[in-house]
Amino acid sequence: MGDSTTINCVKHIETYVDSSSSKSPAQQDESLDAIAKLLMNDMITLESLVRELGMYLTTTDHIIRARGILLLAELLTRISSKPLETATIHSLIGFFAERLSDWRALRGALVGCLALMRRKGDISNTDASAVAQSFMQNLQVQSLGQHDRKLCFEILECLIDCYPDTVLTMGDDFVYVICEAIDGEKDPQCLLLTFHLVEILAQLYPDSSTSLASYAEDLFNILGSYFPIHFTHPKGEDDVKREELSRALMLAFASTPLFEPFAIPLLLEKLSSSLPSSKVESLKYLSHCTIKYGAKIMLQHFQPLWSSLKDAIFTSEQSDSNKILSEALVLLQNLIHQDNGEFVNLIIKDADVNMTLKSLSNYKIHDDIKHRLKTIVQILYVSTSSSIASCNAIFQSFFSELVNGLEKNSLSENPNFGYLYICGELLAACRNLVMKNDETFSINYNNETWCDILQRFCSSLTFSFVKSMKESNEDVYSQLGVKGLKILALFPGNFSPVSKSTFEDILGEFISIIILNFKNTSLWGCVLNALIEIGSFIEKSHDHEKMPSFDVIVVKKTVDLLSLDNLTMPFSLKVKLVSEIGMINLKYMMKIVEELNKAIVTSLQKSWSDGNSKSIEHAMILLECYDEKILPWFQNVKDSDDVAVNFALKIWDQIEDSTLVCDTLVEKKLLETTMNTMKHAVANCSEESQSKILDKAFNILSLTFQVNESNLVKPKDEWIISLFDSVIIALHPKTNIKNPKKILEFLMRSLINGHTSSAHALGSLFNKIELKEEIDIAFSHLTSFENDGFALGGLAWMGKGLLMRGHEKVKDVIKFFLNFLILDSQKDEELIRGVADSFGIMMSDSDVCLNKRLHAVIRPLYKQRLFSIVMPVLQSAIVKSESPITRSMLHRALAHVISNTPLTAVLGEAKKIIPLMLDGLTILSEDVQNRDIVYNLLLVLSGILTDKKGQEAIVENAYIIIRCLNKLVVYTHMMLVRETAIQCLTAMSDMPYSRVYPFRQEVVQTLSKALDDPKRSVRQEAVKCRQAWASISSRSLHI
């Protein structure tokens, strides 16, 4: 060892041992770490360190001795991963064990013992025994402080965990010491340890003849006093949770059957208490104990257990979140699951249960489901689904009687509610039982008693359920019928009691309801859901026996429905039914898609040829269903590209062959729907399929236009152009486009002719496909029509496409628009307004095109980019502008930009923007046409007002803001503007007192007008706001 190291080491030791206040705990920790590092790196040996420590360990100064021993102990904890020589360990543990008698320096001794004891394998049994002996002789655990007690418990825990043989040789004494140590403990952290101590101690003495037996009662008396765990101070300062403690105590309770004679009576007693939390706890503990102790031991308690359990269930309130009830049912299930028949017998023989079942015919009033009946049914449900034996027993004793009762009563007008309900629940319970076991291993149930019984009554049950489903006028009865039938149909295929013919009958009944009984919407929906559930179950369990029946009876019939015209069933219901059934699996879906395609084709053709309003309606329903349900469903299916492709191609085929004549308003709607569906169908296709569709569409388009170059207004042409636009809008950026120039030409031509969808297509084309010269050509072409609103609209969409892509050319577009606004005040006002609105087009998100679903290329932060380009120009232009029209139009453009920019970006520029915004609000509010823009702008202002970052700018401009808001409070054209303005004023009252107080009078006066507003919500806001401003004055008294 080098001298410098020694000096260094000694310095650290002195720092640590020094008890005067000159050294902070952090410094002492640092020196501890430093020494530990030296030891770990073998710079010094443990022996030499002990020699250095020397006096510190044995001095008669208690404080220094305590620090010295603690230093050594802490070091041992820190180098626990470093192997040490046996002799060293032996002498160290001897030292620490002996030090346990030194109560003035106890902490170090405890820490040291623990650190060494945890080196399992390095410590011989004699050493461990020496520690234990010294512990037993010297320590009175409960007289120590909290942290020392915790260390003591950890030592005991370590002894039991690592040195069980040593502990066993000590026998009774050790158990006694533990009893003594844990008696009266109150600290949650220590309690957690003590509970665990008892648990592992019990595991150490598994049989009842050992020393634990004699102490079992004492031990349990100590433990039992903690039950149920309850904190008098709900928010304890340490982080031990009540749940954690409760769980530890539960494990301790259930650790050994020796506790049973004391634990069960205690738990039963607490179960009868009126405190809900103690009831829940008792039930939880009882459940766990039942599992751990085993049925044999629990047998003697069955009688009292059942009666208290029944009490708890009956007195608890019926609701889903009722913890007592759910825990009680868990306990019931555990009890039945554990034993073989005894407990179920108690239930079967129970007077209350029998009484209720006998008096079932009294339960006539369905809407007040009697609490008692529901409880009994719950008990029976749990008992039935717990085990096969219990299921047998319950079926044997009750089922035949119940079915007979049901049958007898079904002759009357309304079947009896009680029987219907209870039979359904029992069926559900045994299905639950079958399904539970089905997942792990397959049992042949067919020899079980309950299966025989069920088989015998199956047909009469089905009959009664069908009867109540069909004939009852009340929803409750018919739905119970549907539920019963559904459960019968949901038994797995290899389950014989419900035969295949029964299954088919049930499906047939369901379908007849679907076809004939569509007027009763709740029943119809209920049956449809049942069918879907049955279908999905068959699909999930790969049931080959039932699958064909379902195919024939349900799927084929529903598919046929689509083409049948003569039924009274509404077409929308048919489409709904078909699409829902189709979603069960791919096979059905493909069949249904085929049928839907056919239906779409026929209805489209009809509506084209004669404009029949009914066919138009049908076509729209079908297309909407395709758009909303079928296409999204296929997105989750792999390799389903062809569905969308086929659909798109088919529509193009139709349009090619058709001779379209009609052109009505209804048809415009149909065209819109078709476009939407076309867009989404094309968007769902892969790149190759898209180019295939595009080719076809382009061919048809060019053919049509070769034939009639001159006349463009024919309805068929409009359809072709619009659908072609839809295809372009939905293209993928990577799709190969063969002749972009020609397409562009077409789009430009139709755009000038007034097709707005062509503008969308143009924007999408420039957004997705890399074109160089074409952009310039299109730009100069469109700008040459500067007095044409359509061309300018096209330019706006083109600008949006380029902006989202991040293309440089967008600057030219923006420059053109800005120049248009600033320079040309001579032009038509409508035209200028259109140009101002094109900023709105560029900034806002659109549903029709250029969004994520339609594969737009979207650069992040593109809105912020436009904001930063346009802001300075508009700002200076507004300041310079002289004509009021130009000024108002510039403000309109600016408002579009501001209200569409993310708030965080606006906040960054708040100081500059707020005066502009207020100017804009004042100018724009003069014209009714601007009211939506005013509202949007006001929303941005309220956003700035409520954000912390905006406060500074608001305070600076407080007066002009308040003046502007005061005007808007009486804005006549829009209620929302008034309401928001008042809310903003309320927010303003929170600004620093000195800034806003001067305006109080003015605001209160303005608000008195708003108090008489014709709209109620405005008046209410005004009252709140006036209250806020009026009470500003009295707040001054507190400052």
Q: What's the CA gap between 69 and 812, in Å, rounded?
A: 82
Region binding another protein by CB under 8 A among candidate stretches 25-33, 532-540, 822-830, 1024-1032: 1024-1032
C-beta closer to another protein: residue 147 or 1000: 1000
Which residue in the set 59, 515, 1023, 1039 belongs to the binding site for another protein (CB under 8 A)? 1023
For residue 995, the minimal CB distance to another protein (Å) is 21
Query: Would you state the torsion angle of the CA atoms of residues 655, 658, 659, 661, taken in this order, to the nearest 10 degrees?
Result: -60
Complex with another protein: residue 53 or 969, whichever CB lies closer: 969
Strand ranges for 75-191 from DSSP E = none
**Interface with another protein, residue 1039, by CB under 8 A:** no
- # residues near another protein by CB under 8 A: 16
Taking the C-alpha atoms of residue 98 and residue 317, their distance in angstroms, rounded to an integer, is 61
User: CB of residue 301 vs another protein: minimum separation in angstroms?
Assistant: 46
C-beta closer to another protein: residue 707 or 1037:
1037
Nearest residue (CB) to another protein, 3 versus 1012: 1012
Binding mask 870-909 vs another protein (x if CB under 8 A, - otherwise)? Answer: ----------------------------------------
Segment lying near another protein (by CB under 8 A), choices 36-44, 335-343, 975-983, 1031-1039: 1031-1039
Decide whether 517 or 1020 has the Cβ nearer to another protein.
Answer: 1020
Shortest distance, CB of residue 867 to another protein, whole angstroms?
A: 35
Residue 980-1019 contact track with another protein, rule CB under 8 A, x = bound: ----------------------------xx-xx---x--x
Of 233-241, 354-362, 475-483, 1027-1035, which segment contacts another protein by CB under 8 A?
1027-1035
**In the chain, what is the straight-line distance between the N-terminal and C-terminal CA atoms, in Å?**
70
Residue 103 burial class via C-beta count within 10 angstroms: exposed 0-12, middle 13-18, buried 19 and up? middle
Q: What whole-number distance in Å separates Cα of residue 365 and Cα of residue 450? A: 30
Q: State the nearest-atom distance from the C-beta of 32 to another protein, in Å.
A: 55
No. of helices (H) and no. of strands (E), the chain = 57, 0
Rounded-to-integer distance, Cα 75 and Cα 471, Å: 85
8 A C-beta contact, residue 343 and residue 362? no
Closer Cβ to another protein, 499 or 1005, answer by number: 1005
Q: What is the 3-state secondary structure (H, E, C) of 910-940?
A: HHHHHHHHHHHHHHHCCCHHHHHHHHHHHHH
Instruction: Considering the complex, state which of residue 547 and residue 1032 has its C-beta at the smaller distance from another protein.
Output: 1032
Q: With respect to another protein, which residue has the nearer C-beta, 289 or 1007? A: 1007
Minimum Å distance from CB 986 to another protein? 11
CB of 1000 to another protein, least distance (A): 13
**Cα separation, 981 vs 991, whole angstroms:** 16
Least distance from another protein to the Cβ atom of residue 1035, Å: 8
Whichever of 772 and 1016 has its CB closer to another protein, that residue is: 1016
Shortest spacing between CB 1017 and another protein, in angstroms: 11
Pick between residue 777 and residue 1004 the one whose CB is nearest to another protein: 1004
Element (DSSP H or E) covering residue 964: helix 958-968
Cβ–Cβ under 8 Å, residues 477 and 366 = yes
Q: Which is nearer to another protein, 846 or 1020 (CB)?
A: 1020
DSSP 706-727: HHTSS----HHHHHHHHHHHHH
User: Is 1030 an interacting residue with respect to another protein (CB under 8 A)?
Assistant: yes
Closest CA to 458 of 488, 487, 430: 488
3-state secondary structure of 290: helix
The one segment of 264-272, 590-598, 855-863, 1021-1029 that binds another protein by CB under 8 A: 1021-1029
Cβ distance to another protein smaller for residue 411 or 1037: 1037
Q: How far does Cα 389 stand from its chain's mean position? A: 40
- Give the residue with the Cβ less far from another protein, 473 or 1036: 1036
Q: Are 478 and 472 in contact (CB under 8 A)?
A: yes
Considering the complex, what minimum distance in angstroms separates the CB of residue 903 from another protein? 24
User: Which range, of 232-240, 443-451, 664-672, 1025-1033, touches another protein by CB under 8 A?
Assistant: 1025-1033
Q: Which of 455, 605, 875, 1020 binds another protein (CB under 8 A)?
A: 1020
Give the binding range for another protein (CB under 8 A) out of 136-144, 276-284, 825-833, 1030-1038: 1030-1038
Q: Is residue 1024 close enough to count as binding another protein by CB under 8 A?
A: yes
Strand ranges (E), 757-907: none
DSSP-assigned letter for residue 398: I
Identify which of residues 371 and 1015 has a Cβ nearer to another protein in the complex: 1015
Exposed, middle or buried by CB within 10 Å (0-12, 13-18, 19+), for 849? buried
Figure out which of the listed residues 636, 706, 711, 1034 binds another protein, where binding follows CB under 8 A. Answer: 1034
Q: CB 967 → another protein: shortest distance, Å?
A: 19
Tell me the two tokens of residue 981: 């303005």
Residues composing the chain = 1039
3-state secondary structure 51-88: HHHCHHHHCCCHHHHHHHHHHHHHHHHHCCCCCCCHHH
Task: Please tell me the distance from the alpha carbon of residue 158 to that of residue 391, in angstroms, as a whole number.
Answer: 47
What are residue 456's phi and psi, to 5 degrees?
-60, -40
For the chain, how are helix, strand and coil distributed in percent, rounded to 5?
75, 0, 25
Max Cα separation, the chain? 118
Closest distance between another protein and the C-beta of residue 1008, in Å? 5
- Give me the torsion for CA of 767, 771, 773, 778, rounded to 10°: -30
Least separation in angstroms between residue 985's CB and another protein is: 14
Q: Which is nearer to another protein, 440 or 1036 (CB)?
A: 1036
Task: For residues 765 and 844, give the distance between their C-alpha atoms in angstroms, rounded to a whole number.
Answer: 18
- Contact letters for another protein, residues 662-681 (x by CB under 8 A): --------------------
Among 365, 707, 713, 1037, binds another protein (CB under 8 A): 1037
Nearer to another protein, 444 or 1031 (CB): 1031
Closest separation in Å from C-beta 994 to another protein: 19
d(CA 654, CA 26): 84
CA distance 975 to 966: 15
Whether the bond between 228 and the residue before it is cis, its omega within 30 degrees of 0, is yes
Min. distance of Cβ 1005 from another protein in angstroms? 9
**Residue closer to another protein (CB basis): 233 or 1016:** 1016
Minimum CB distance to another protein, residue 1013 (Å): 9
Site for another protein in 508-547 (CB under 8 A): none
Distance between CA atoms of residues 57 and 64, nearest Å? 8
Minimum CB separation of residue 1037 from another protein in Å reads: 5
- Residue 764's alpha-carbon distances to 259, 544, 854, in angstroms, are 78, 49, 9
Residue with Cβ nearer another protein (179 or 1032)? 1032
Q: How far apart are CA 581 and CA 593, in angstroms?
A: 11
Burial label for 780, CB within 10 Å (0-12, 13-18, 19+), is exposed
Summarize as ranges the residues that interact with another protein (CB under 8 A).
1008-1009, 1011-1012, 1016, 1019-1020, 1023-1024, 1026-1027, 1030-1031, 1033-1034, 1037
